[in-house]
Amino acid sequence: MKIAQIDALLHWRGGEQQVLYLSQVLHANGYDSVMICQPHSELYQRAGEARLPVHALRVRNEVDVAAAWKLAWYLRRERVDILHMHESRSHMIGLLAGLFNPNLHKLVSRRVVHQPIRNLFSRWKYQLPRVQYLAVSHAVRQVLMDNGIPGTQVQTIHSGIDLKRFDHVPKAEPLFPPGTRVVGTVGHLANSKGQRYLLRAAQSLMRDEPKLRLAIVGAGELRQTLEAQAVDLGIAEHVRFTGFRRDALSLMREFEIFVLPSYLEGLGTSVLDAMALGKPVVATQAGGIPEAVQDGVTGLLVPPRDAGALTQAIRYLLQHPEQQAEFGKAGRRRVEQHFTAERMARQTMQVYHQLMHD
């Protein structure tokens, strides 16, 4: 059985970390597996650093027919049995390539909760038979079924993290001077991630807590807008936008509280990272987040798009350090029990074997 994982994103997000985790476990267990990704992408670089088999394929857009033809030729030459597609662009290119490989087993990971069918291309993508789907949460699975995909074609496999990475997380150079209290978030800077609500909450909190600082780790198209918002709110000198950081885990060590303010979220791998670091969490009830964060056990959940509720939850934890410690310990236990990369990979391996025997 030969497996190809394809991910055509240039940037590094939670999904790309999952692809790398999965490939590492497959390789460690003797599976014949290769990653296909954009040359010079962060995933391509990290695959090389991990000495994992990787093949470069330039994909310009979802309907890059030349890329689909090159992929089809590569899959036939390498006698690939299973093509596992990990994001939207790869999904389309992979299905186009599959037209030239009738015996290819096709598997798609879906990590987002927004409606998948938005145009003719996406309608075609999601109505093809003999394609199996892996949803990163029950919430994502439900969205797929609501859009007409039979439940028999969709399984839920929660994202996982490699706990070994958290045993010795090095310290980063501090973002703020000693004596400050840091609340932070990590993620792509986009509307759906809700960072603007966190900025509004921070403004309210900083009136009562002069030592409070906010760290926003990540890159994205909304950065300038968010920076301008911080200026308008009068808190820019107390907010740090770091951009993309490879050492995001090290930066998170400085956080007293981790916040995930998204209003659309498949699961939220950054929240798993925070829990693995023993950080208390304030997050929204959006998408699959409640499947990871247990309200009142590992953190506090609030309605999405509600800066006031975010403010109250963060303020409560700032005022109750003993509750922070309890949430942090419980979060670490929850990740150890339910959200490891090994667990995610083994469940995915079972799906591969099912595909080969269907």
pLDDT at 51: 96
Whether the CB-CB separation of 342 and 25 falls below 8 Å is answered with yes
pLDDT at 117: 65
47 exposure class (CB count in 10 Å sphere: 0-12, 13-18, 19+): buried
d(CA 307, CA 205): 11
Do the domains 2-160+340-357 and 165-338 sit in the same CATH topology, yes or no?
Answer: yes
Reduced to 3 states, what is the DSSP secondary structure of residue 157?
A: coil
Amino acid (1-letter code) at residue 77: R
pTM above 0.85, yes or no: yes
Contacts of 25 (CB under 8 A, 6+ apart): 341, 342, 345, 346
Whether the CB-CB separation of 339 and 161 falls below 8 Å is answered with yes
Whether the CB-CB separation of 110 and 144 falls below 8 Å is answered with yes
d(CA 173, CA 204): 27
Digitized pLDDT (tens) for each residue of the chain, 358 residues in all: 999 999 999 999 999 999 999 999 999 999 999 999 999 999 999 999 999 999 999 999 988 999 999 999 999 999 999 999 999 999 999 999 999 988 999 999 999 998 776 677 777 788 888 899 999 999 999 999 998 899 999 999 999 999 999 988 998 999 999 999 999 999 999 999 999 999 999 999 999 999 999 999 999 999 999 999 999 999 999 999 999 999 999 999 999 999 999 999 999 999 999 999 999 999 999 999 999 999 999 999 999 999 999 999 999 999 999 999 999 999 999 999 999 999 999 999 999 999 998 7
Contacts of 343 (CB under 8 A, 6+ apart): 158, 160
CATH code of domain 2-160+340-357: 3.40.50.2000
pLDDT at 127: 82
pLDDT at 106: 97
Contacts of 16 (CB under 8 A, 6+ apart): 7, 9, 42, 43, 86
What residue ranges do the domains of the chain occupy? 2-160+340-357, 165-338
d(CA 259, CA 270): 10
CATH code of domain 165-338: 3.40.50.2000
